[in-house]
Structures are given as structure tokens and as C-alpha cells.
Amino acid sequence: MKKINALSAALVSAAVAASALVTAVPANAAASDNSAGVSIPPNVVVDDGFDPNGEVVVVGDDPGTLSGDCKDRAFAVVAVMSESLNGCSVIGWNASAQATYKWYKHQGNANPCIWGKSFNSKHAPTWTALDCGTGRTKNVPWGNVAGTKKMKGLTGAGWAGVQWQ
């Protein structure tokens, strides 16, 4: 019985020490800073899908504190609306910031119609048409939001392989 009480006391002591460590971290630290070194300005709304651990690009009137690049992603488009995996993350520096989507069909027997994730003036995610055909470059409204790019698309029939960033 002494061993169980000693073990219980040790576990309680460890739990108290751990909770002291957790409460020592500022409550907003996760929203403004992360292990990838990305600092999010206080005027930026963080979308649920934001991934700070991947590629991060800053758009808008950026003072140059962050920069980045979006690598190409592959996306298969079929006759049923389907979504891509996440692309790079974007931090919109101000309310008029726009994110750029570039895409092109690299294989397949049909031309796709593509939409890109964007944000409206109330910081809610929306889908902006990026046109149909063999490829386009288009800016979409982003605003002061930290979010992660995503596409969706479909074909009239058949399939298309799309490269995008």
C-alpha cells in the first residue's frame, strides 16, 4: 500500500509540475508563433485549415519579414467535383491582399474547370472560379487571413491531371 501511495503522490506531483509548465506559455503563443518560425501579425485572422509547418508565402503590403515559394502540386480532376490536397499556406498582410493560383492541364482526355479557395471580406472561406480549359493564372481575394490554398474541380467527362501552385 505504501508503494501505491508513493506512486500516486509522485504522479500528482508530476501532473502539477506539468500544468505549471503549460500555464507558463502565453495563451496566444500558438496563434502568433510556431515551431516553423512563422510569426502571424495581430491583425490577421487564422483560418482553421492554416498549416504553418509547410511552405508559407506572404501576400499584400508586406514589409518583407517573410517570403516564400509555392511548389507545384498534382491534382486529378474527374467528372465528379473533387478537392485537391492542401497547397502552400498564405498569410494576407492586409485586407486587400490577393493570392495567386497558377494551374495547367498536363495530361488527360478532358479540359477541367477549376476553383481556388479564397476568402470574402468577413474572412469566411469561399471558392473563386479559376476558369476552364488548359490552364490559367488568376488572383483571388484573400484579405488579412492566414490560410492554406486548395483547389477543386471537375470535367464534363473523362479526366485531367492538373499541376498547380
Q: The CATH number of the domain where 122 resides is what?
A: 2.60.120
Q: Is the pLDDT of residue 68 over 50?
A: yes
Mean pLDDT of the chain: 79
pLDDT of residue 10: 35
Instruction: Give the mean model confidence (pLDDT) for residues 31-58.
Output: 78
- Amino acid letter, 122: K
What's the pLDDT tens digit per position in 46-67?
Answer: 999 998 888 888 888 654 444 5
- In order of 16, 25, 28, the CA distances from 21 in angstroms are 9, 7, 15
Say whether 150 sits in a helix, a strand or coil.
Answer: coil
Domain count, the chain: 1
Residue 146 forms part of a structural domain: yes
Residue 11 forms part of a structural domain: no
Residue 26 forms part of a structural domain: no
What is the radius of gyration, based on Cα positions, of the chain?
22
Residue 4: CB atoms within 10 A of its CB come to: 8
Residue 22 forms part of a structural domain: no
Work out the burial of residue 104: count CB atoms within 10 Å of its CB; fewer than 13 is exposed, 13-18 middle, 19 or more buried.
middle
Residue 47 forms part of a structural domain: yes
pLDDT of residue 13: 36
Ranges of beta strands (E only) in the chain are: 45-46, 56-59, 73-77, 82-83, 89-92, 98-108, 113-119, 125-132, 135-141, 145-148, 151-154, 160-164
Say whether 95 sits in a helix, a strand or coil.
Answer: coil
What's the pLDDT tens digit per position in 107-120?
Answer: 999 999 999 999 99
pLDDT of residue 3: 37
What's the pLDDT tens digit per position in 82-115?
Answer: 999 999 999 998 999 999 999 999 999 999 999 9
Q: Cell 494551374 identifies what position?
A: 103
How much is the pTM? 0.74
Residue 160 · residue 111 · CB < 8 Å: yes
Portion of the chain with pLDDT greater than 70, in percent: 72
Q: Identify the domain containing residue 156 by its residue range.
A: 35-164
Residue 9 forms part of a structural domain: no
Say whether 15 sits in a helix, a strand or coil.
Answer: helix
Residue 13 forms part of a structural domain: no
Residue 131 forms part of a structural domain: yes
